[in-house]
Amino acid sequence: MPKTGTSTAPAAPKRNSTKSPPSAAAPAQAGSALEIKDTRTSKTYSVSVAEGAIRAVELKKIKTADPDDSGLMSYDPAFLNTASCRSAITYIDGDKGILRYRGYPIEQLAENATFLEVAWLLRHGELPNQQEYDQFVHDITFHTYVHENMRKFLEGFRYDAHPMAMLNSSIAGLAAFYPSARNIFDETERNISIIRLLAKTPTIAAFSYRHVKGLPFVYPDNRLPYVENFLSMVARMSESKYEANPVFARALEILFILHADHEQNCSTNAVRAVGSSHVDPFSAVSAGVAALFGPLHGGANEQVLRMINEIGSVKNVPAFIESVKSGQGGRLMGFGHRVYKSYDPRAKIVKRLADEVFKVVGVDKDLEIALELERIALSDDYFTSRKLYPNVDFYTGLIYRSMAFPTDFFTVLFAIGRMPGWLAQWEEMLLDKEQKIARPRQIYIGPPERPYRSKLKAK
């Protein structure tokens, strides 16, 4: 049972960067163009450059005389250098370790804002005024309950079901409960779907936890704020009103804020790609939950703890680091990031947060192992030369564990935090006139045409 309550707590614009935001002093690029000489044909082409990018479709005009040549493509597996959208939501400078939501530095939001304020900001582009905020909190609070059949759905899972699998399928299942959500170009429908997803995800997450633990489901207590309400559904037993430990509640709220958006990461890209087929938002967002489940993405926080358990003791850290470097020991989980090539700004905040939480629960040997891993890795050429620094997942698992959340629940907590980002990005994609159904090209490398000759025994 998570130690989240007072009752259960112990006594106490470069590679992979978003292009500069409009406010930054970027030189005007009107009329900029790229001259490309095709050495196959000796022809020269002019391809316009705007906002630091060329339009990949412009490359199609670069062709050979071959009538089957449909024009030049760019080949970019894993989108290492391809912008899939223009977005006004999140700005990252991976080299400088900068993360901003709608222009606001993550450090200031984590310090001062509430999670629901950030959720509003991500979607609407501005911070809510008091009236907007009160209405938003009210709407979310009054949609926290789920249909009783959702309970039965969750009860159908085995006792050892991974809570991410339960969350993923339950969120997809909400589409069956709210068929009118398919009217995605109706603003009222979009609005209620977004409210429902923000409101019901913590309830479904908590129900998944209680199911795995074999505990009775606890219904939302709508007298409580968002995070405390979630903790109540997770940890409440016979108390008439659950009182969360304020240090844990604020720590979780900050973690939700830190996870709320991260521009075009794997799960957000999944939400946008699936949403681009104009499916309902529950189905689109469940694709994001599925992507987040993977160990290279949100599943990394779970893997960090498993790795620390395997290491077992501080004295084993140097040998473990050597095994990572030699390729025998897998990756140092919680290290490295596609975008951040310096310290992940979220990891800095999480490390400070860990100190506060550990003041309440006491330092344990796992934190000591983590600190030693970080110390050695940050002074080792293998990691520094590859710009591998701790990412947000390195310390989050330790915080969750110290609150007594089970390891396989960590990614669920990440998913609750990421929900506002997925939804803001989904809506931005829908309203973007330039977007169409996402459909990448390919370079075919299979066999040429060949006649069918069955290899089965003749009948």
Q: Which residues are catalytically annotated?
A: 297, 337, 393
Q: Does 393 bind ligand ACO (CB under 6 A)?
A: yes
Query: Cα–Cα distance between 307 and 309 in angstroms, integer?
Result: 5
Q: How far is CA 446 from CA 67, 68, 301, 443, 449, in A?
A: 21, 17, 38, 9, 9
Give the count of beta carbons closer than 10 Å to the beta carbon of residue 184: 18
CB of 169 to ligand ACO, least distance (A): 22
User: Is the separation of the CB atoms in 363 and 314 below 8 Å?
Assistant: no
Q: Does 388 bind ligand ACO (CB under 6 A)?
A: yes
Q: Does 338 bind ligand ACO (CB under 6 A)?
A: yes
Interface stretch with ligand ACO, choices 84-92, 98-106, 387-395, 446-454 (CB under 6 A)? 387-395
CB of 72 to ligand ACO, least distance (A): 25
Q: Does 386 bind ligand ACO (CB under 6 A)?
A: yes
Query: Cα–Cα distance between 269 and 334 in angstroms, integer?
Result: 21
Site for ligand ACO in 114-153 (CB under 6 A): none
Query: Cα–Cα distance between 428 and 422 in angstroms, integer?
Result: 10
User: Is the separation of the CB atoms in 272 and 425 below 8 Å?
Assistant: yes
Tokens of 28: 């005007």
Identify which of residues 312 and 330 has a Cβ nearer to ligand ACO in the complex.
Answer: 330
DSSP 82-135: ------SSEEEETTTTEEEETTEEHHHHHHH--HHHHHHHHHHSS---HHHHHH
Sole binder of ligand ACO in the list 119, 321, 333, 349 (CB under 6 A)? 333
CB of 272 to ligand ACO, least distance (A): 16
Q: Does 391 bind ligand ACO (CB under 6 A)?
A: yes
Q: Does 334 bind ligand ACO (CB under 6 A)?
A: yes
- Give the residue nearest to ligand ACO (CB): 336
User: Is the separation of the CB atoms in 256 and 201 below 8 Å?
Assistant: no
Contacts of 240 (CB under 8 A, 6+ apart): none
Interaction mask 313-332, ligand ACO, x per CB under 6 A: -----------x------xx
Query: Cα–Cα distance between 211 and 208 in angstroms, integer?
Result: 5
CB of 327 to ligand ACO, least distance (A): 8
Interaction mask 269-298, ligand ACO, x per CB under 6 A: ---------------------------xxx
Interface stretch with ligand ACO, choices 41-49, 225-233, 384-392, 438-446 (CB under 6 A)? 384-392
What is the helix (H) or strand (E) element at residue 306, kind and residue range? helix 300-311
Sole binder of ligand ACO in the list 353, 392, 413, 415 (CB under 6 A)? 392
Q: Does 348 bind ligand ACO (CB under 6 A)?
A: no
Tokens of 107: 């450090």
Any idea what DSSP says for residue 38?
E
Handedness of CA 193, 266, 259, 123 (dihedral sign): negative
Interface stretch with ligand ACO, choices 43-51, 154-162, 389-397, 435-443 (CB under 6 A)? 389-397
Q: Give the footprint of ligand ACO on this chain (CB under 6 A).
A: 296-298, 300, 324, 331-338, 386, 388, 391-393
